[in-house]
Amino acid sequence: MAEGKRNPEEDGSEHVPQWAMAIDLDRCTGCEACVVACSAENNVPTAGQEQAAMGRAKHWIRIDRYYEGEFPNIKVKYRPVLCQHCDNAPCEPVCPVYATYQNAEGLNVQIYNRCIGTRYCANNCPYTVRFFDWFAPEWDGPLDLQLNPDVSIRPAGVVEKCTFCAHRIKRAKLDADAEDRDLADGDVQPACVQSCPAEAMVFGDMSDSHSKVSKKIESGRSEQLLSELGTKPRVYYLRKAD
């Protein structure tokens, strides 16, 4: 890496971004474009009717629905739920083989070939966003031809979950490196953020006070899911105070 570039910290060390996401619930229409985009981007296979009925459907991001009022005066509220990349993640200390950990950039990482499939992490996740691969993934043709080569295919017997599109973060960093420039705000867009037609989701570096995501988090509308558990999620939900 070339010296002298990239917004260095005061001590001269390289700036380490702190990734975070803000989701504006007042904008979310519950269209599930993010769910589809995520599955396509991350090679998440469909479980099939039978397995899904057994609770084995895999969705790295899902839309939770909340109904308010009685029919016909019902109001539906949506909340996209993905791995919250907690700073104090309940999934991490229960893994006996350190297959999941938080890296320097605040990502909650899952290393598939280190995972031995105890499923302790999935059981300990209060957001239920970790999924166990009961079977080797299969795609009916020609869907097997559209797999994303940047994302590993998970074998049977490991736990998988949202990575905040770590491969896109990697790609953006390498592109910036090749062009000898800093990562700019908005250079990294996970598939869900990119696909959101209502632009309800924003992703970025929350250690940069000028980034879009920082401004959303500081807007006074933000809250964290199940914050009373002390998990310190990196996903912030924005909504008008009740």
Partner 1 sequence: MLVILLMLVALPVAEAQQPLGFSHSAHIGKARMQCTDCHVGATSRDQAGIPSIRKCMLCHQFIAKDHPEVVRLAEYWERKHEVPWARVYGFKKEAAVQFRHAPHARAEIACAQCHGEVSTMTVAVKTVRHTMGTCIGCHRENKASDDCLACHF
Task: Give me the residues that bind partner 1 (CB under 8 A), please.
Answer: 1, 101, 103-104, 107, 109, 111-114, 150-155, 163, 166-167, 170, 174, 177-178
Instruction: Name the minimum Å distance from CB 177 to partner 1.
Output: 6
Shorter beta-carbon distance to partner 1: residue 110 or 195:
110
Shorter beta-carbon distance to partner 1: residue 150 or 182:
150
- Strand order in 201-205's β-sheet? 201-205, 19-24, 235-238, 222-224
Instruction: Name the minimum Å distance from CB 141 to partner 1.
Output: 19
Shorter beta-carbon distance to partner 1: residue 162 or 196:
162
Instruction: Name the minimum Å distance from CB 89 to partner 1.
Output: 15
From CA 235, how far away is CA 61, in angstroms rounded?
12
Instruction: Name the minimum Å distance from CB 176 to partner 1.
Output: 11
Token pair for 55: 């609770």
From CA 212, how far away is CA 218, in angstroms rounded?
10
Instruction: Name the minimum Å distance from CB 13 to partner 1.
Output: 12
Cβ neighbors of 159 (< 8 A, separation 6 or more) are 99, 100, 110, 115, 117, 119, 121, 122, 130, 131, 132, 133
- What 118-123 contacts at long range (C-beta under 8 Å, 24+ apart), as own/partner pairs, is 119/159, 120/94, 120/95, 120/96, 121/91, 121/92, 121/94, 121/95, 121/159, 122/91, 122/159, 123/94
Shorter beta-carbon distance to partner 1: residue 178 or 241:
178
Shorter beta-carbon distance to partner 1: residue 29 or 113:
113
Instruction: Name the minimum Å distance from CB 112 to partner 1.
Output: 5
Provide the pairing of β-strand 61-68 with 75-82.
antiparallel
Shorter beta-carbon distance to partner 1: residue 65 or 170:
170
